[in-house]
Structure 1
């Protein structure tokens, strides 16, 4: 397996992040998300403009993973939490964590999660939140393996369609 080099994303990475976001989201959710809504969602919330705005925001951290030749293969986006019914003071959110399929396994997912945990520690997060689609069994098992547990339920919108997500949290002191 080609090694992955992890680094902080910076302005200029928006095209790579957009392509990664679109590719991984489509590969993961095309099995049960309606095509037209999925495409509109990807064009909006995984556009280069979306990521350019995130990269310009000092409250957002993005870690990107690349092959030795500079090809993007994964990323994690962390931000202030967006779950007012469940969040506590000192919470931070792992909003996106995506890794292309061929790089999943072999410890790469764990390495990306460690990158995200390192960012949360630097942000002095007391707890890290994340939302996961209730039918994404592989992701649920991965998050549980990394110390996350369910604290509630939330809705995730893909264009105008509601999907049920589970909200997970991990105490950063553990």
Structure 2
């Protein structure tokens, strides 16, 4: 059943909350399919205060919290062309991260966050939204397909010592 979701822009003052949320949701999503060593190695560089400060201070990236009943339930990171991880297409918006805490999954919060990204891209007159998703994350792949995303390529994603493949998906606007 859908719940009311408020989308709130993350600021530098929220960095510790974002860091804790980012690490928790990443480990919850992927630890069961990866080694602790690879997860810890990745997290030691990806989930640091300095890294998040850099990302939050980048004018071409934006983070947003999904808030339900005054509690943070998840987050999304949007990248404008100059901050995109791969394409850097001036006609596209990248969803670099989208995560929902386990206790809020199944309440359409991810759908709400993705709809927010699509609306943001539409408002800014982009031609499409794109993202990368781990090839073994079938639940997420099916979710993105249900929202009109299709595969258009792939790229490597290094998790510790494990080189994995992310499927690149896009949705025209």
Q: Same fold (TM over 0.5)?
A: yes
What residue is the counterpart of 2:109 in the other structure? Answer: 108
Distance (Å, rounded) in 2 between the aligned partners of 1:32 and 1:106:
24
What residue is the counterpart of 2:26 in the other structure? Answer: 25
Alignment size in residue pairs: 169
Whether the 8 Å contact between 2:130 and 2:168 is mirrored in structure 1 is yes
Q: 1:3 to 1:48 in 2, by over 3 A?
A: farther
Q: CA RMSD in A?
A: 1.9
Q: 1:31 to 1:156 in 2, by over 3 A?
A: same
Distance (Å, rounded) in 2 between the aligned partners of 1:88 and 1:60:
14
Correspondence list, 1:1-174, <5 A: 3-69=4-70, 71-79=71-79, 80=81, 81-84=84-87, 88-172=89-173
Unpaired stretches in structure 2, ≥5 consecutive residues: none
Whether the 8 Å contact between 2:5 and 2:112 is mirrored in structure 1 is no
Distance (Å, rounded) in 1 between the aligned partners of 2:14 and 2:122:
24
Whether the 8 Å contact between 1:54 and 1:60 is mirrored in structure 2 is yes
DSSP 3-state at the match of 1:13: helix
DSSP 3-state at the match of 2:164: strand
Shift of 1:28: 1.1
Whether the 8 Å contact between 1:63 and 1:116 is mirrored in structure 2 is no
What per-residue deviation string (whole Å, max 9, x for no partner) do you get for residues 65-109 of structure 1? 22434x32211101133224xx64412210000001111122222
DSSP 3-state at the match of 2:106: coil
DSSP 3-state at the match of 1:37: helix
DSSP 3-state at the match of 2:111: helix
Distance (Å, rounded) in 2 between the aligned partners of 1:157 and 1:123:
32
Shift of 1:160: 3.3
TM-score by length of 2: 0.88
Distance (Å, rounded) in 1 between the aligned partners of 2:89 and 2:16:
34
TM-score by length of 1: 0.88
